Amino acid sequence: MITDAQVERWLREDVGHHDVTNQVPGETSGRLVAKESGVVAGLEAATAVFDYLDVAVRDRLAEGTAVEPGDELLRVYGPAREVLRGERVAVNLAGHASGIATRTNAAVERARTESEAVRIAATRKTTPGLRGLEKRAVVAGGGDTHRLDLSHMVMVKDNHIAEMGLEGAVEQFRERTSFATKLDVEVESVDDAPRAAEAGADVVLLDNMSPAETRQAVEALADYEGVLAEASGGITLETVADYAATGVDVISMGSLTHSAPTLDLSFRTGD
């Protein structure tokens, strides 16, 4: 949900304290147009910006729609001053989110060449203040949000294991975790994968392993019913299919959010 407070912050950052540029009289219309191929997202946020300015939005595409150059994503109608005030913020939000959706979709499509079941997930490597926008963009691209914040799942990371040992760390957090909260345990070697499952992990995160090592770890986890295998660490669009072929259940990729280029969009006034 996009709140008025978020929109106010976005507009205040762009408009500043004295807006001369957009002092344009009369009414106008405008169109948000794709300048390159991709998958659209962030249109809910763009609409929230225009709604806040009392600019009417029409003909909005659904999140996750594939577009080609020249396709219209939405149309707006209202006072020229408010249309122009909102357009740059709306374009920036939609372009950023659409870039994430496009990159996610590319990862999903490449993974599907090897596995129909594997999930492509984001991480918490998001832009402060924009996590909701970015996570929704991942979903629009066909991906999984992973945990939205620290409360959604407990992750036992390398630093926890260094302090308490693998079994000790799992026990420490299992005792403090609700029955409804999953425990994801990070391991860095094939041999530690079954150790994590034996200790009580719901998900075993295979960190920075090669595809060959990942396959071995997945095979080692086969005897542990209900335990998911997750591959993570430096996985790219070029290598995601190799990891999908290993049999993992989840591939998490920080690059979906932190390295996605903005989709090139343009806002044009008038019909």
Looking at the annotation, which residues are catalytic? 125
Other beta carbons within 10 angstroms of residue 66's beta carbon come to 14
H helices of the chain, where? 4-15, 43-52, 80-112, 131-140, 158-164, 166-174, 192-199, 211-220, 240-244, 255-258
CA distance 214 to 189: 9
Q: What's the DSSP call for residue 187?
A: E
**Helix/strand/coil for 105:** helix
Q: In degrees rounded to 5, what are phi and psi of residue 180?
A: -90, -5
CA distance 243 to 143: 16
CA distance 19 to 245: 54
CA distance 116 to 142: 12
Q: Residue 75: beta bridge partners?
A: 31, 58
- Number of separate helices (H) and strands (E) present in the chain: 10, 12
Q: What's the DSSP call for residue 29?
A: E
Q: Residue 121: beta bridge partners?
A: 144, 252
CA distance 47 to 232: 34
